[in-house]
Amino acid sequence: PAPPTTIAGADARAVRAVGVVGTGTMAAGIVEVLARSGYDVIVRARAEEKVAAVRKRVESSLEKSVAKGRMSSDDRDATLSRLRGTTDLADLAEADLIIEAVVEDLDVKRELFTQLDKVAKPGAVLATTTSSLPVVECAAVTSRPADVIGMHWFNPAPAMKLIEVVPTVLTAPDVVATVLAVARAARKHPVTCADRAGFIVNALLFPYLNDAVRMLEAHYATVEDIDTAMKVGCGHPMGPFELADVVGLDVTLAIQRTLYLEFREPGYAPAPLIEHLVRAGYLGRKTARGFHNHSV
């Protein structure tokens, strides 16, 4: 059946062009998914080299699909032709939906939403991919809080099917309908949830990851044995330390702190070892070193 595009009697707004702000792992994955799904994508980076880096990542991912026989070279070329880069935020004026995927820092996001409010066309939906900061904080700095919503993707974005759609108390119903429709058009499974730290997944996942680190700190078991236990015993695709390395220990720490600040559960306080590893520059896969050594 055709996916519903109406919510609480509100029709989804038309979306053809999507702006993505950011050039990190999540931004590059989101750009790829949307371009593959037929949207015109404008990616905004702070420097030309970063635009080129995103394009390169998308190209190499599409190349893998072609090599596996899952994509024709014509489709690859068409997908790449839908992708444009810019260093000027004003170029996002033509976007019907703008997705912010920059660093998980509230001040940076607030400043960006202040700017987006100035450049976005009337009726554009403004989405944040924050994984644990309050979406309403981004909405509140704009003159159009009803158009602001959370759209939380999972890592790696091209592979993970879930998108958490997070309306604030101010979000208009047709904005929720729009983001649900885009998620479905991108062949993802959207769920909706309230604007509370961690939404659904991270509120359940990060206390578990933190507990695994506490187990390690207590010399209860090794990294390898804890990872193996959760994979083989529970059927998880990755153990907690493998997963923390994929997410990034800096991001893990930021989410853990936000959960602790919102819920004040003593067990949510970040395990000291996470803080130490981040201080040491061991951020997980992106630095080739986290709980695991990825350089070998």
* Annotated catalytic residue 293: no
The interface mask with ligand 3HC, positions 24-63, x = CB under 6 A, is: -------------------------------------x--
The interface mask with ligand 3HC, positions 219-248, x = CB under 6 A, is: ------------------xx----x---x-
Among 168, 171, 202, 210, binds ligand 3HC (CB under 6 A): 202
* Annotated catalytic residue 131: yes
Which position among 202, 210, 242, 292 bears the catalytic label? 202
The interface mask with ligand 3HC, positions 245-264, x = CB under 6 A, is: --x---x-------------
* Annotated catalytic residue 210: no
* Annotated catalytic residue 236: no
Judged by CB, which is closer to ligand 3HC: 55, or 93? 55
Which position among 32, 100, 152, 292 bears the catalytic label? 152
Of 135-194, which residues contact ligand 3HC (CB under 6 A)? 154-156, 158-160
CB of 68 to ligand 3HC, least distance (A): 7
Torsion over CA: 126, 127, 130, 135 (sign): positive
Q: Is the peptide bond before 156 cis (omega within 30 degrees of 0)?
A: yes
CA 20/CA 240 separation, integer angstroms: 30
Put the strands of the sheet holding 83-86 in their side by side order. 83-86, 40-44, 17-21, 97-100, 125-128, 148-153, 162-167, 189-192
Judged by CB, which is closer to ligand 3HC: 191, or 238? 238
Contact call for residues 177 and 127 (beta carbons, < 8 A)? no
E strand or H helix that includes residue 99: strand 97-100
CB of 225 to ligand 3HC, least distance (A): 19
β 148-153/162-167 pair status:
antiparallel
Residue 263 exposed, middle or buried by CB count within 10 Å (0-12, 13-18, 19+): middle
CB of 238 to ligand 3HC, least distance (A): 4
Residue 98's DSSP bridge partners are: 19, 126
Which position among 37, 100, 131, 292 bears the catalytic label? 131
Residue type, 34: L
CB of 123 to ligand 3HC, least distance (A): 28
Residue 19's DSSP bridge partners are: 42, 98
CB of 14 to ligand 3HC, least distance (A): 28
CB of 117 to ligand 3HC, least distance (A): 25
Residue 169 exposed, middle or buried by CB count within 10 Å (0-12, 13-18, 19+): exposed
Nearest to 282 by CA among 290, 274, 273: 290
Residues that bind ligand 3HC (CB under 6 A): 61, 131, 154-156, 158-160, 202, 237-238, 243, 247, 251
Name the residues annotated as catalytic. Answer: 131, 152, 164, 202
